[in-house]
Amino acid sequence: MKQIILCLLFMLFISATAEAARPASVQSLRYSNDGEKVRIVLDVTNETDFRESYLENPSRLIVDIENATLNLPKDAQKDILVGSPLANRIRIGQFQSNIVRVVVESSSEINTE
């Protein structure tokens, strides 16, 4: 009985590891802007890691979604003008073969604290 349970646990671990190793698919990007804040939502098929960084001139927030591929619908916008001081523009693209990058340009300084 112990062998069956151990084997089942091992199979579940292998299955979970294979799922984690499979690239995530970024399937949509949407945003809302209420004047005081901008909310950006990405629909991603698997759990994945990301890194964020900030650049200046112009102020930009960069989010790299690791182990991911971009699978937006054909008619989806990849460069969106938001028209908010918090987020003038949002861009999304396949930065490297396994990294999807989202760039949020802002006319205000981005507070990194």
pLDDT in tens, 21-47: 788 999 999 988 887 788 899 999 998
% of the chain with per-residue pLDDT over 90: 45
1 within a domain of the structure (yes/no):
no
93 within a domain of the structure (yes/no):
yes
Rounded Cα gap, residues 110 and 106, in angstroms: 7
Burial of 92 (0-12, 13-18, 19+ CB in 10 A): buried
Residue with tokens 């990007």: 29
7 within a domain of the structure (yes/no):
no
Rounded Cα gap, residues 101 and 103, in angstroms: 6
Which domain CATH number covers 78? 2.60.40.3500
Which residues does 106 contact at the CB level (< 8 Å), separation at least 6? 58, 59, 60, 61, 85, 86, 87, 88
Rounded Cα gap, residues 29 and 16, in angstroms: 26
112 within a domain of the structure (yes/no):
no
Query: β-strands 89-96, 24-33: how paired?
Result: unpaired
Summarised one tens digit per residue, pLDDT across range 83-93 is 888 888 999 99
What is the extent of the structural domain holding 30? 24-106
66 within a domain of the structure (yes/no):
yes
Identify which of 48, 42, 49, 47 has the alpha carbon closest to the alpha carbon of residue 104: 42
Decide: pTM greater than 0.85. Answer: no
67 within a domain of the structure (yes/no):
yes
- Count of the separate structural domains present in the chain: 1
Segment 62-81 shows an average pLDDT of 93
65 within a domain of the structure (yes/no):
yes
79 within a domain of the structure (yes/no):
yes
